[in-house]
Structure 1
Amino acid sequence: MTDDDVTVLLVDDHHLVRSGLATLVDAADGLRVVGQAADGEEAVALARDLAPRVVLMDLSMPVVDGVEATRRIAAAQPDVHVVVLTSFSDAARVGDALAAGAVGYLLKDCEPRDLVAAVRSAAQGFAPLDPRVARTLLPGGPAAAASPADRLSARERQVLRLVAQGMANKQVARALGISERTVKVHVGNVFRQIGVGDRTSAALWAREYLPD
């Protein structure tokens, strides 16, 4: 640990995620975790008190979400570089986060070495973007769609709605009169298209983009 280390604030509402990130970041040469926050409001307060060089910011959190926390930190502390680390890669969330002042955007299934490289890059004033995220910003890419849900088929939207209700694949299959194997295929396709890696994130996405 030296005075030249890049100081990092971790923001995520899941303790296990923060713990894993802390282990990864502290093990990297020249990086040091100086604080951890479980929601956006706490993140803003810690960023003010600790003045970290980089903030790794989740988006979906209680009290104050990651976009609003990013906006507050960027407005008050322009020397603090916020890098979003989330399960969501849809164009709307990417655009909101970057407009709020985030300098980078990573997905939680990225390689550990890529995350470490992104933190170092942000600290040097660059803008690290996951390639999958960058594609949503290209003309004619997913950002051009009228709604993030437009790229899902009618059946995929049906499956997603039931998954968001907490149904297991077997229950979804029974409800729709299709095989469990077919449901599994649909679920995998949906996850890839909306940029999430688990059912909880999919449910959160559905709550925002698939209103009843």
Structure 2
Amino acid sequence: MINVVLVDDHAILRDGLKTIIAQENDMTVVGEATGSIQLREILKTVNPTVIIMDINMPEMNGIELTKWVKSKYPTIKIVILTMYKNDEYFMASIREGADGYLLKDSPSEDVIAALRTISNGESVIPASMTKKLISLHHAENNTEDNSLTAREMEVLLKLVEGLSNKEIGKRLFISDKTVKIHVSNIFKKLDVKSRSQVIIYAVQHNLVPLL
């Protein structure tokens, strides 16, 4: 069962989320909070699988609260559900440990799918946000940490741009098979399982800062 805690200071939004989650057999809402004070109390007695959290809230904003939750309860997954398409909010949320970033105008089925995906250990971010991550930063300490080759770093950039293996091959003048090998090596070296997790890793480790 996917146990969900909702953190948002708007009761209407929480009620809407509860309604759509209640229709699913594999998930349930186990707590609600309007901000950090209530969430801290809830987490003393409840161990949720996922917290769905807004950014603009009283007491602590969602980015600060994400950092706090991850420092105290690292196994809890966090989805930022916000109206903000701001690049800085997105980058800050991911760097503080958010496992997913969704916009409030997302279809309800996308929210449900995201909860399942994140509960399975993967990450979720909207394609519209990944396309903005289009520059690669060769920081010396990052290169040592991830041990990617120069070619793998090039492929990583193209993955962040949202290109398919075939498109990457055309851009880098290599075969689809070679791209597949590079992608596999990147996944193994960064210890990730999906393209969304690759992007999350790249953001959290400053490999792909915004232009």
TM-score, with normalisation over the residues of structure 2? 0.62
Q: 1:9·1:47 contact (CA, 8 Å) conserved in 2?
A: no
Partner in structure 2 of residue 81 of structure 1: 77
Asked if the contact 1:39–1:62 (Cα under 8 Å) also holds between the matched residues in 2, the reply is yes
Structure 1 residue identity aligned to 2:89: R
Match of 1:14 among 5, 10, 15: 10
Q: Is the 8 A contact 1:14 1:38 kept in 2?
A: yes
| Structure 1 residues 139 and 73: CA distance shift in structure 2, 3 A | same
Report the counterpart of residue 90 of structure 1 in structure 2. 86
What's the CA shift for 1:102? 0.4
| Alpha-carbon separation, structure 2, partners of 1:23 and 1:84 | 19
Superposition pairs for residues 18-97 of structure 1, below 5 Å? 18-97=14-93
Q: Measured at CA, do residues 101 and 45 of structure 1 come closer, stay the same or move farther in structure 2, by a change above 3 Å?
A: farther
Structure ranking higher in helix proportion: 1
- Give the counterpart letter for 1:19 in structure 2: D
Q: Which residue in 2 is equivalent to 1:196?
A: none
Counterpart position of 1:155: none
Q: Which letter does structure 2 place at the counterpart of 1:106?
A: L
Other structure's SS at 1:24 match: helix
Structure 1 position 23, deviation (Å) = 0.7
For each residue in 1:68-93, what CA deviation from the matched residue of structure 2 results, as whole angstroms up to 9, or x when unmatched? Answer: 11111111111100010000011100
Give the 3 Å change call, closer, same or farther, for CA 80–44 of structure 1 in structure 2.
Answer: same
Paired with 1:96 and 1:69, the residues of 2 have a C-alpha distance of 12
Provide the rounded CA distance (Å) in 2 between the counterparts of 1:58 and 1:65. 8
Residue 39 of structure 1 and its aligned partner are, at CA, apart by 1.1
Equivalent positions of 1:1-212 (< 5 A) are: 5-139=1-135
The amino acid that maps onto 1:76 is K
Which 5+ residue runs of structure 1 have no aligned equivalent? Answer: 141-212
Output the CA distance in 1 between the equivalents of 2:43 and 2:83.
23
- For structure 2, the residue ranges without an aligned partner over 5 or more in a row are 137-211
Deviation, 1:25, is 1.0
Cα distance change on mapping 1:62 and 1:20 into 2, 3 Å: same
Q: Per-residue deviation at 1:42? A: 2.0
CA shift, 1:139, in A, is 2.6
CA distance in 1, matches of 2:132, 2:76: 25
Provide TM-score, normalisation by structure 1. 0.61
Displacement after TM superposition at 1:45 (Å)? 3.1
1:57–1:84 Cα contact (<8 Å) kept: yes
Identity among equivalent positions (%) equals 30
* Contact 1:44–1:69, Cα closer than 8 Å, also in 2: no
Q: Provide the C-alpha distance between the structure 2 equivalents of 1:116 and 1:91, rounded to a whole number of angstroms.
A: 24
Displacement of 1:58 after TM fit? 0.3
* TM-align CA RMSD: 1.4
